[in-house]
Amino acid sequence: MQFSRRYERGMVAIMFLTWGTVFLDRMAQLYLAPFFAADLHLGPEQIGLLASGLALAWALSSFVFGAVSDRIGRRPVLIPMVFAFSLLSGVTGLVRSAGQMFLVRGLMGVAEGPCWTVMNAVVEQSSHPSRRGRNVGIVVSAAAAIGLALAPVLTTQVAARLGWRTAFFVAGLPGLVMGLLIWKYIREPAAHAEPAGGGVRGHKTTLRGVGRLFGYRNLWLSALANAGFVTWLILQNAFGPLYITEVAHQAPTTAGFLLGAAGLGSFVVGLAFPMLSDRIGRKPVLVLAAAMSIALPLALWYLPLYAHLWLLALILACTQGGQAMASLAMVLIPTESVPRELAASAIGFSTLVGEIVGSVVAPAVAGALAKAHGLQMPLFIAAGGAVLTCVAGLLLRETLPSRQPRLDAVAQAAAH
């Protein structure tokens, strides 16, 4: 397979902006909830169920349509789904009841899940092995740059001036542009576009072929690592602001400042660590990112640090390994652990486990424990999620292609 640096750069830029748009539209309902909750008669429990419903739809569709893309190709799945979630974002601005909101956002989860899976499969398969980590890291970091930094400012400012319905319309527009760019410029990866070994590898993937996924130990471990990561991510972002304002007695603007510092750190680490993994390996970088991330929710919990806000912000920025964990546990390690024709299915499986555990089960458990024992409990569980990722990382087998021949030789020598 021939790799073009020029094409890679353009492909990465388009996928960066597309993934940022996907995450913007997913997070918009959280940022705009204070604006539409009263109009649609939604309480805190309904807002939480809305987020969980979208996450569950996202998780299931990412696996199902990822497997479909392994069979029929990436473009036939990705392009319609990008247009679909963009249009559904606009349709969200037309809903008139809570039931309509649940239906539209659930369908949006169905459309967005495959975008994550298939986009990363395209990036992984279209990148030279020596640049996979760098390219995946750049694309995944868009969630921090656009979804966590730009999105809350854009959506709330539009909603404050023009209303929450217009804000959902505006959030959907970039996706239509990205869909056109993908249709015009993104090629089908060679695994699906060209015969390989006497056949078209991706087009021959069957349900039995997808079933082969469950025989790969690394895939189960990466799914476990992803469950820990998503638990860490969701709990600290959902309950961190409440802890800062209600327990630490800080202003909401202080919560925004601290979480913004963490988001900036996530963007930087999310770029640097996957690049580092191209040189020293996926396993040590995942373990490092998870280990340092344990400190973030614990720093939020430690009340004396609130007397030194700039120091706390620095700690949060330096311990935010979220986007690095996402790149490694959700994309690079799963895809490098299975045959290349099952790449999207592998990403989808890791995503499925992570979303169900971290976005559906963990918030419910953490919320119950917070009600019974205080808002520090979700932060402790978040730290435990990072510990789980760290332990799963230690048990993984290295997957970096440049190191694989040497590792195989060592394993064979040990066996003899």
- The CATH number covering residue 146 comes to 1.20.1250.20
What is the pLDDT at residue 77?
Answer: 94
The answer to whether residue 406 is domain-embedded is no
Same domain, 283 and 393: yes
Residues 111 and 177 in one domain: yes
Q: Do 183 and 220 belong together in one domain?
A: no
The pLDDT of residue 415 is: 45
Q: What tens digit of pLDDT does each residue of 276-294 get?
A: 999 999 999 999 999 999 9
Neighbours of 326 (CB within 10 A): 29
User: Given 169, 187, 205, which residue is the final one in a domain?
Assistant: 187
Mean predicted confidence (pLDDT) in 386-397: 95
Is 75 or 33 the better-scoring residue by pLDDT? 75
Same domain, 386 and 339: yes
Residue 315: predicted pLDDT: 94
Count of structural domains, the chain: 2
pLDDT of 313 over the 50 cut: yes
Summarize pLDDT for 356-366 with one digit per residue, the tens.
999 888 888 88
Q: Give a yes or no: residue 410 inside a domain.
A: no
Has this prediction a pTM greater than 0.85? no
What pLDDT shows up at residue 196? 37
> Would residue 3 count as lying in a domain?
yes
Tell whether 99 and 139 lie within a shared domain. yes
Alpha carbon distance 219, 273 (integer Å) = 21
Per-residue model confidence (pLDDT) at position 210 = 63
Are both 228 and 129 inside the same structural domain? no
Q: Are residues 56 and 138 in the same domain?
A: yes
In a domain, 283, yes or no: yes
What confidence tier does 265 reach under pLDDT thresholds 50, 70, 90?
A: confident
Q: What is the pLDDT of residue 201?
A: 42
Same domain, yes or no: 274 and 382:
yes
414 within some domain: no
Domain coverage including residue 67: 1-187
